[in-house]
Structure 1
Amino acid sequence: MRRSIVPALTAFAILGACQQPAAAPEPEAPAAPDAGTTPVEEPSPMPVATPTLEATAPLSQGNNLFAWSLYETLESKPGNIFVSPASISEAFALLYPGAAGDTATQMAGVFGFDGVPADGFAVTQHTLNTAVTADTETTKLTVANAAWLREGSTFQAPYRDAVEGIMKAKVALVDFTQPAAAAKLINSWVEDHTNDKIHDLIPPGAIRPGLTELILTNAVWFKADWQSPFKAEATQDGTFFAPSGEITAKLMSQTLKKARYLSRDGYAALDLDYAGDDYALTVILPDAQDGLTDVAAAMTAESFTTLLTDMDSASERRVHVVLPKVRIEASYELNDPLIALGLGDAFTSAADFSGLIEGAGPGDLVISKVLQKTFLDIDEKGTEAAAATAIMMERTAIFIPDEEPVEFRADHPFLIALRHKPTGTVMFMGRVESPPPAED
C-alpha cells in the first residue's frame, strides 16, 4: 500500500475545487464606519446585468493557472507552503479597474483578467465572489474586500463606482500620518473577516507618512466539515517521511466507500469532499516517498488545472486514506514572486495607475508591498482555512498636504531689492509707490 504523504501543495485546492456554486447570500446592509475612518459618500446604485456563472469561468481558470505558477516561484522555500491564490487575485481585481497601459496588460496576463470584457470585469468578478461563498451549518466561506485611501485623496468616479458600487468593497479614508493607528484599524478589519485567524497583516512600519496613498485588502475565510469525518479514535501516532528525516505525526485514517481517484505517471490524486458537496480537498500524492520534487518539476500550470478539471469526472473508488493532521500559519512578501511572473511595471516608476486617484497620472503611484498571511487547520472533523492579502501603494514622491495659502496682496506701496543670491549682494533696490495705470 502506498504510504500517504500530504505535500504542501495540496492546500491550493481548498479555494479552487468548488464543484457547484453556493446559493448567493442576501445582500448585507451597509456597515457603520469604523472608528478612525472617514466614510466615503455612498455611490449611486449602478444598473448592471448579472453575468451567468459560465461567464466567470475565465476568471476561475486564470486564478487556477496563477495558483500553480505562484507555487513554482515559492517551492524552493524550505518547509510547508500555504498560500491563497484566490485572495491575491481578488486583491489585484480591486486594483485592476484603476490600471492602464502596459500595467493593465501585465496584470491581466498574470491573473487572467483579460478573459472577460473590460467593461464587464467588475460585475463578473463580483458574480464569482458571490458564487463561491457559502453559509450553512456545515460549510462557510466568506470573501471581503476593502480599500483604505489616504485622507485628502479622492478616487476617480469610474474607479469608485466599480470597486464600491459593483464589487461591494468597503471604502474608507484613513489618516496614514499615524501609522500605528492606521495599521491597527486595518488589522482589526482583517481579524473580523478571518474568524480571528489572521493577525498583524500590516506592520506599522510598512505605512510611510507622506508616501502611503492606498492599501487594498482582501480576506477569505473557509470552515467546513468533512462529508465523511475521520474518527478520532482511529487517529494514531505514525511515521511521516519528511525531507529532513522521519518524524512522528498524528495520522488520521478511514476507508471511503466512494471517492474520486486518479492515478497518473508518478502520483495519485484523491478528492476528499466536504459536507454539502460544494467543496473538496484535492490531495496530490507522489508514488515515491521523495517524489514531490519530480512531480512538481513535471507539472505545469496547464497540467495542474487539467488535473483539477479531470477530478470532477474521475471514477469513484473504494479508498483507504491516511492523512496527517495539519496546522500551518504562514506569511509572505510577494513582490519578487509577482515580478517574476510578469508584473514588473506595477512596482516601478513605469506603473500606470492613472485611473485610480484624482490627480495621479502615469508613474505617480506604484505598489510598494504585497503581503499575505494564511492559516490552515486540518483535523478529524474538517478544515478551517483563512487568508488575507494587502496591496500597499505609494506615491513616487513625498506628498506634502496643501496648506491654506498666505494672503500677500501688494495693492499698496512696497519696497523691492534685486539681489545676487550666491553673495547676497543687493544689486538694485527701490520702492514701488505708484504703478502705471491700466490702459483702457
Structure 2
Amino acid sequence: MSPNIFKASADFGHSLFKDYLENNKDSNCVLSPVSVFFCMSMLERGAQGETKAEIHQALCTSPDYCGSEVNDVINTLNGSCGRAFTLTTANGVFLQHGFNALVNFVSMLRDDFRANVATVDFGSMEGVKSVNGWVAKETDGKIGQILNVPDNSTIMALINAIYMKAKWDEAFYESRTSKGDFTVSEAKKVKADLMHQIQQFRYIRESNFSMAFFPYLVTCWEMGILLPDSGSVTLDFVEHLKYESLKKLRDNAIKSWLDVKFPKFRVEASVDLIPMLKRMDVKKAFSNNAELSKISDVAALKVSQVLQKCFVDVDEEGTEAAAITVVKCVPYCASFYEDEPIKFHITSPFLFFIRHVDTGIVLFSGYVKDPSA
C-alpha cells in the first residue's frame, strides 16, 4: 500500500476546499474532496497529452502514479465498517445507448475503481430514473437525484457516491443539549442547539487557535475541529488543514479533559466544481480541444459538467453524511478553436459551387438571391 496516493488525495482536497471556501465566505459550505478525487481520477484514465497532465497535476499524484493505487483508498473506506459505523463508496460509469467506449478504458475503471458499468438513455426519463436510482441506493436514500431532466447531449457520466453513518465514541446526552449563543460575527449572534459534555479528547493549543479531535466508535475515524480565537478570520487558518500540517498537529495533540459545547448542525450543498478546477489549471478537459481519446476513438469528447451534492448532519449520537459527484461528458465538433469563433451567417444572397477537391473540377456553381423562391 503506497502512502503517496493518500497524500495526493489530501493535498488535492485541501486545494479544492480552500478555493471553495474563499468563494463562499458568507454561507455554510460542505464538500467531499475524496469523492471529487475519485471522479477526476477516473477521467484521468481516459485522457492524454496536456489534458492528462493538467488533471494529473491538480490531483497532486506522483510521476509514477498508477491508477490501481486508488484501490488502496477504496479499501480504506470500504474496510472501515464496524460496530455502529458505516462507510461505503461506489463508482459508476453510465454510457449512452449506442456509445461504444473503448474496452481498455472500461476495463481499467472496472478493475482499478471497481466501477459499476451500465448503459442508459440520458435523453429519456427512464434513463434519468435509472441513474438517480443508483445514486439513492448508494447513499441510503439521502441524496435522491443527481440528474434532473432528460439530456440528449450527455454521452457518458462518471459518478462517485460516498455514504457515512457513525456514532461518537463518547456520545452527547440529549438532555444536556440547550439553546445558547453562537457568534456569527461581531455584529451578529444567533441561538443554536449546543451539545455539552466534559470528557477527555485529543487537543492542541496553538498561538491563535485550538484544535480538538472527536473519535467515532471505530477509532480510526474522527471529526476534527479547528477553532480560531475570537476576532480571528477563519479563512486564515485553512493552511493548517494541509496534509503535513494537519498530521503534525494531530501527532502533537494530547488527551486532555475538555468542557465541550458543540453545536448541532446540518450543512447541505450543491457545488459546480468546474470553476474551481479551472483555477487549479484543469482547463483543456472542458474545451473543444479536450484530449479524451482513451475513452473513445469514435466520438470527440469534452467535459460539460462536474457537480457535487453533499450533506453532513451532526447530532448527539454522531454523524451522517453523503456525497455524490458526477462528471458529464458530451461530444463536440472536432473543429478546434480557443478564441471566439468567426461568425459566418449566411443571411444574404450568396454564390455556391460544388468542386472536386483533388482535381479542382467544379461540378456545379450558382447564386442564391432568395432561398424561399
Whole-angstrom distance in 2 between the partners of 1:309 and 1:84:
22
Which residue does 1:225 correspond to in 2?
167
The answer to whether 1:173 aligns with 2:119 is: yes
Partner of residue 111, structure 1: 59
Give runs of aligned pairs for residues 26-37 of structure 1, distance below 5 A: none
| Matched residue type, 1:310 | L
Q: How does 1:360-375 map to 2 (within 5 A)?
A: 360=299, 364-375=300-311
Could you report, residue by residue, the CA deviation over 1:171-230 in whole angstroms, capped at 9, with x for unpaired residues? 11112232x33222211111111111112222226x2x1x32110100000111000111
- Report matched runs for 1:22-421 at 5 Å: 52=1, 55=2, 57-75=3-21, 76-77=23-24, 78-114=26-62, 117-118=64-65, 120-121=66-67, 123-133=68-78, 134-178=80-124, 180-204=125-149, 207=151, 209=152, 211-243=153-185, 245-257=188-200, 259-296=201-238, 299=239, 302=242, 305-360=244-299, 364-397=300-333, 420-421=365-366
Task: Please list every run of 5 or more consecutive structure 1 residues that lacks an aligned counterpart in the other structure.
Answer: 1-51, 399-417, 425-440
Deviation string, structure 1 residues 17-67 (Cα, Å, up to 9, x no partner): xxxxxxxxxxxxxxxxxxxxxxxxxxxxxxxxxxx2xx1x22211221122
- The residue type paired with residue 280 of structure 1 is E
Cα deviation, residue 330, structure 1: 1.1
Task: Provide the C-alpha distance between the structure 1 equivalents of 2:228 and 2:123, rounded to a whole number of angstroms.
Answer: 51
AA matched with 2:195: M
Deviations 1:243-275 (A, max 9, x none): 361000000011122x21112232111110000
Q: Is the 8 A contact 1:65 1:305 kept in 2?
A: no
Opposite residue 214 of structure 1, the aligned amino acid is M
> Which amino acid in 2 is paired with 1:218?
N
Q: 1:86 to 1:154 in 2, by over 3 A?
A: same
CA distance in 2, matches of 1:267, 1:301: 13
Which amino acid in structure 1 is aligned with residue 283 of structure 2? Answer: G
Work out the CA distance in 2 between the residues paired with 1:301 and 1:343. Answer: 23
Mean alpha-carbon deviation: is it higher for 93-102 or for 59-68?
59-68
Once the two structures are TM-superposed, the CA of residue 167 in structure 1 deviates from its matched residue by 2.0
Cα pair 1:154 1:358 within 8 Å, conserved: no
Note the C-alpha offset of 1:137: 2.9
Write out per-residue CA displacement over residues 279-306 of structure 1, whole angstroms, 9 at most, x where no aligned residue.
010100001155314334xx2664x642
> What SS does the aligned partner of 1:358 have?
coil
Matches of 2:32 and 2:329, distance apart in 1: 21
Q: Which runs of 5+ in 2 are unaligned?
A: 335-362
Q: Which letter does structure 1 place at the counterpart of 2:329? A: M
Query: Residues 162, 309 of structure 1: CA spacing in aligned structure 2 closer, same or farther, 3 A cutoff?
Result: farther
Contact 2:273/2:308, CA 8 A, preserved across alignment: yes
Q: Which amino acid aligns with 2:318?
A: G
Task: Measure the CA separation in 2 of the matches of 1:319 and 1:286.
Answer: 16
Distance 1:234 1:301, change over 3 A: closer
SS in 2 for 1:99: coil
CA RMSD of aligned residues (A): 2.1
Q: Does the aligned pair in 1 maintain the 2:105–2:295 contact within 8 Å? A: yes
Tell me how far apart the structure 2 counterparts of residues 423 and 69 of structure 1 sit (CA, whole Å): 57
Offset at 1:313? Answer: 4.7
What is the Cα deviation at residue 136 of structure 1? 2.1
Q: Secondary structure of the residue that 2:93 maps to in structure 1?
A: strand
Secondary structure of 2:123 counterpart = coil
**Structure 2 letter corresponding to 1:100:** Q
Q: Secondary structure at the match of 1:67?
A: helix
